[in-house]
Structure 1
Amino acid sequence: MIKVHDRIDVAAADLPRLQAMIATAYLPAAAARGLTLVDSAVSPPLVLVDRPLTLWLQWELANVEAFWIARNIGGNDPSVAAFWSEVDGFCVDRERSYLLPDQPAHSAALLTRPTSLSAYLVRPGGWRETAQLYLRTGADENARRTVEDVLAGAAGLPGLSFQQWGTNSVTDFGAGHYTWDLLYPDAATAAAAHASPLWQQHVMPVLRKYCASWSALGLDTIGAGLRNSKLTGGVKRTALFRRLAGADGARAPGFEAATLDMPAHIDSIINWRLSRARVLDWDSGHQTWDYVWEQEYASLDGLLGAYMIHPHHWAHVDRAFDPESGQQFIDVRLCHAFCSQAESLLGCEAP
């Protein structure tokens, strides 16, 4: 059982409006998403002239699977974000938290603790570019084969240190059909490769013909780590994030630190890199991104299992993505791509 706790600070005059909105515009849909309201209260038990009232709401969700179902439905329903946007328009502050039952022996066993990452932290060398390639609607096997042949042939780009491409397992969450990574000694070498005949006469014409769009990003490292630079036969996950329009930029350092702290709690993340995204001149211009968050796993279970069910993810970091949290910083329209890889791309960047 997961306990969900909402704290909403509101002026006394606006409390009836808030309560009515929750009862009529929020509760029915919340119940349909799996949230059960178990308690509500107001504090303090009087009106003070120098401070707002606080409405406390406590909900329950059956388990972590129910959490992600509710999050997926709520994150993709514009009416949920619209509801909380209206609440934010007249309330002072709010925050959603997740609680562990206060049973000391039980709680102590469930509380997770981070491990030190100091032995694994690295500063990647070289200059890397990453791309998501979105095929045109109705692309057939011939189109796929042509694109894949060009990606494989791009290994001949002048100055290229390493490249890797993979077919993404799913495209349901903003992912392209392919993830393509290119590593160069430096940005100048990459620019020269982009000017080469192979790039200009072969790579770009195929992308323009067979892809509806593509995101092409250069990576400015915020932090990275390697537990196993020689990882083979693993899974690479590439997530692209954009800041929520109007979000307070002061939240960026906290979001970045919490994201980079994930491997300290989730040891299935073997290698990782968080970067600020730099839009490249060969980007198709259809989307903008602010962050690239890459992880490598030994198997798909590490991503879809341990990563998804760990409380550092769903109870802590995910609040930056959740319109219901009161702490949202990242737009819910993200890219979540993952594909098999023969060898560790992040390991190839080790200085």
Structure 2
Amino acid sequence: MIADSIWVIDEITTRPGQGKAFLDAYMTQYVPGATARGMTLTHRMVEPAMWLDDAPNRILLIWAMPNVDATWGPNIWRAAMAMCCIGGRLRHRPSSSLDDDPLLPTPMCWKALPMFSALFIPTFAPARRAEAMDVIATATAGLPNLLGSMFAPTLPNVYNGGDAIWRATFADAAACDAALSSDAWKPAATLLADKAIVTQLDHATFAGGMSGERTQAPGLYRIALFCANVRPDAERLQSFAEDTAALAAYVRTIGRWQLSTTRDADGLRPWTHVWEQEYSNLDGLNGAYMRHPAHWARAERWFDPEYPEHLVDPLLVHTFCAIETHVLHG
């Protein structure tokens, strides 16, 4: 290499037992795009020189580019720096073809929605499920002040996800409180409080938080409830919110999304955060979202007790249902 060559080093410590899977994904999903942009992978090293089942592997990958011009390129005005999340480490590097690389973020406009929402995630006694669904659906139809609502059974493989998701949106907190105190809602409120019918209930009310959208047909609505209860000071909560919301820029299967903090919440935990997304299908959630490097690099540290950033209680709600129209307002 000539004297003014530019070297880029990726040093990754994988999760235990995931070394080979990570390197395979890196070589098939990331390397072709990087090579097309003029980068040359010159060295790769794995320590120790065997794949470990119960411990991390350290992977070192060294890239070369011929000169500074090749590094920054003539299109720096389009994207001066793009952040690439690789295996728990963040590497900053120039890129002029963001749309071609599924590991790189896409520009998204964040906004705060002025509306207010209520959420119920009930688990029903099996023999009373159909009855309960009918009562709640009828009560919802008569609610005053309602701007939008969704009530649907959950799909298989939710985690603490209940039998159904009920979500309603109002202009503000006062309109929400009035609706949930109305005569129309009383049959549903009575049912939801009956332990013989509803064996578990997670509930939250929240103002619209950070949100965004891509042009994408709705097919699946997913919601996660988090309880940030490990040293939750303002700075840590803000960093957690920014890292979580940033996932929407990386995971391109996310259509609409919203991250909110709760006004009041109860259930398995006193929930502090409501993380909602829409996808075209379940593969967008179980595949791209759950397996994207950004998910493990940006979000995992807040949930893992082994990380110094650990913030979120290990018990959470992860639930989803099929939808035909948008749940989240664009």
* Same topology, TM > 0.5: yes
In 2, Cα distance between equivalents of 1:104 and 1:183: 50
Q: What's the counterpart of residue 115 of structure 2? A: 126
Distance 1:231 1:122, change over 3 A: farther
Distance across 2 between alignment mates of 1:166 and 1:245: 33
Determine if contact 1:223/1:275 at 8 Å carries over to the other structure.
Answer: yes
Residue 35 (structure 1) aligns with: 16
User: Root-mean-square deviation (CA), in Å?
Assistant: 3.3
**Stretch of structure 1 that moved more, 289-298 or 124-133:** 124-133
Shift of 1:222: 3.3
**2:104 corresponds to:** 113
SS for the counterpart of 1:276 is strand
Note closer, same or farther for the CA distance 1:5–1:211 as it changes in structure 2 (3 Å cut): same
Query: Are the equivalent residues in 2 in contact too, given 1:98–1:315 (CA < 8 A)?
Result: no
Partner of 2:229: 244
Counterpart contact for 1:275–1:293, Cα < 8 Å: yes
- Corresponding residue of 2:60: 101
* Partner deviation per Cα, 1:114-161 (whole Å, 9 max, x = no partner): 11103xx3332422111211224xx22xx1111211232112112212
Q: Please say if 1:301 is aligned against 2:301.
A: no
Tell me the CA shift for residue 330 of structure 1: 1.0
Retained in 2: the 8 A contact 1:319–1:325? Answer: yes
Find the counterpart in structure 2 of residue 90 from structure 1.
none
TM value normalised by structure 2: 0.69
CA distance in structure 1 between the aligned counterparts of 2:131 and 2:229, rounded to whole angstroms: 37
Match of 1:186 in 2: 172
Distance (Å, rounded) in 2 between the aligned partners of 1:227 and 1:259: 17
State yes or no: 1:160 paired with 2:146.
Answer: yes
8 Å contact 1:134–1:213 — kept in the other structure? Answer: yes
Deviations 1:45-70, CA, capped at 9 Å, x for gaps: xxxxxxxxxxxxxxx63326xxxxxx
Counterparts of residues 270-289 of structure 1 (less than 5 Å): 270-279=255-264, 287-289=269-271
Distance in 2 separating the partners of 1:271 and 1:111: 18
Aligned residues: percent identity?
A: 28
How far has the Cα of 1:286 moved from its partner?
A: 5.2
Question: 1:173 is paired with a residue of what secondary structure?
Answer: coil
* Amino acid in the other structure paired with 1:310: H
Structure 1 position 100, deviation (Å):
5.7
Aligned pairs for 1:124-273 (under 5 A) are 124-136=113-125, 139-140=126-127, 143-153=128-138, 154-170=140-156, 173-200=159-186, 202-209=187-194, 210-228=197-215, 231-232=217-218, 234-273=219-258
TM-score (norm 1): 0.65
Name whichever structure is richer in helix by fraction: 1
Match of 1:290 among 251, 259, 272: 272
1:319/1:98 Cα in 2 relative to 1: closer, same or farther (>3 Å)? farther
The answer (yes or no) to whether the contact 2:115–2:172 under 8 Å persists in 1 is: yes
Deviation at 1:310, TM superposition (A): 0.7
Aligned to 1:21: none
Moved over 6 A (4+): 105-111
CA distance in 2, matches of 1:4, 1:241: 28
CA distance in 1, matches of 2:228, 2:137: 33
* Cα 1:319/1:207, change in 2 over 3 Å: same
Higher RCO (Cα < 8 Å, 6 or more apart): 1
Aligned-partner Cα distance in 2 for 1:257–1:300: 25
The 1:5–1:278 alpha-carbon spacing in structure 2 relative to 1, beyond 3 Å, is same
Give, as a single letter, the amino acid of the residue that structure 1 aligns with 2:174.
A
Structure 1 CA distance for aligned equivalents of residues 160 and 284 of structure 2 = 21
Count of matched residue pairs:
257
